Amino acid sequence: MTYLVTGSKGQLGSIFVDILPDDLVIGIDLPEYDITDVESVRKVFDCNSIDYVIHCAAYTDVDGCARNPEQAMLVNAIGTETVANLCAEYDATMILLSTNEVFNGNKLYSYVEWDEPSPINSYGQSKLAAEKITEEVLDNYFIVRTSWMYAIGGVNFLHSILKLARFGKEISVVTDELGAPTYANDLAIAILELIKRAPYGVYHLVNSGNVSRYGLARRLLDLTGYNSVDIQPILLGDYKRDSRPPRKGILANWEAYKYGVVLRPWQTALEEFLTNLRYL
């Protein structure tokens, strides 16, 4: 089986490139390959026999998407259409990475795979458009929604909090945004297990449990020796930013669980992340 990974330099894509055998994985990313340019990607399909396309490439700057919704749609929706059409043409299975931000965050309990999406920001709208395009173009696909992903490399919430603490900056974190922090290494392994065991469809894959942004930041600092660093608790309504995230975007891994694909608790995953980051 040969895997094509789009966005291979990103947080998740780079992990797939690392854990899959070198002779079975092809990674593509900007600037050499642009998913909005069909001929840019087609040449990879022409020169290789691709079985699976793990589509990680996306415009994931949520606030940037709010400022430039046209760019969000171009990359996340039209770019996905390019990849999906090539998968259909070359008979490859597509794995689309999506997000909890396709939901509005108003549900009392966790979101399951069959809940109706209703995004409240440009990022979520562009990713929902990508999901619908994938479902329309392909029969052989996996749509994998995740949340609050973090990795050793790249830019993410955990790195931002640690940087603020390291330089003695003031830290303010919202208490009323809830989700499931997800370690990219765990997510990558779970996806590879999912495509071996489960039928095509929509799945949620997050580390088990949930926490507020504030609770996650507090645990992170306590584990890394910044116990004395204060965090100012604030509400989403008081946090000035371009985008508005779902207040309660907790995903439940209901469908994947039926096929034996289970991710460990977020607390355990966080500790391993910090060990790999040499904080513990």
Q: Is the pLDDT of residue 280 over 70?
A: no
Query: What tokens does 274 get?
Result: 């910090």
Q: Is residue 73 part of a domain?
A: yes
CATH number, position 132: 3.40.50.720
Per the CB < 8 A criterion, the answer to whether 31 and 48 are in contact is: no
Q: Is residue 169 part of a domain?
A: no
Q: Is residue 185 part of a domain?
A: yes
Q: Is residue 75 part of a domain?
A: yes
Average pLDDT, the chain: 96
Give, as one character, the DSSP assignment of residue 265. B
Q: Is residue 240 part of a domain?
A: no
Q: Is residue 19 part of a domain?
A: yes
Q: Is residue 274 part of a domain?
A: no
Q: Is residue 216 part of a domain?
A: no
- The number of beta carbons lying within 10 Å of the beta carbon of residue 129 is 19
Find the radius of gyration of the CA atoms of the chain: 18
Q: How many domains does the chain have?
A: 1
**Rounded (10°) CA dihedral 212, 259, 1, 201:** -70
Dist. CA 280–CA 275, nearest whole Å: 5
What are the pLDDT digits (tens) for 142-184?
999 999 999 999 889 999 999 999 999 999 999 999 999 999 9
Q: Is the pLDDT of residue 239 over 90?
A: no
**Whole domain around residue 254: which residue ranges?**
3-156+179-209+247-265
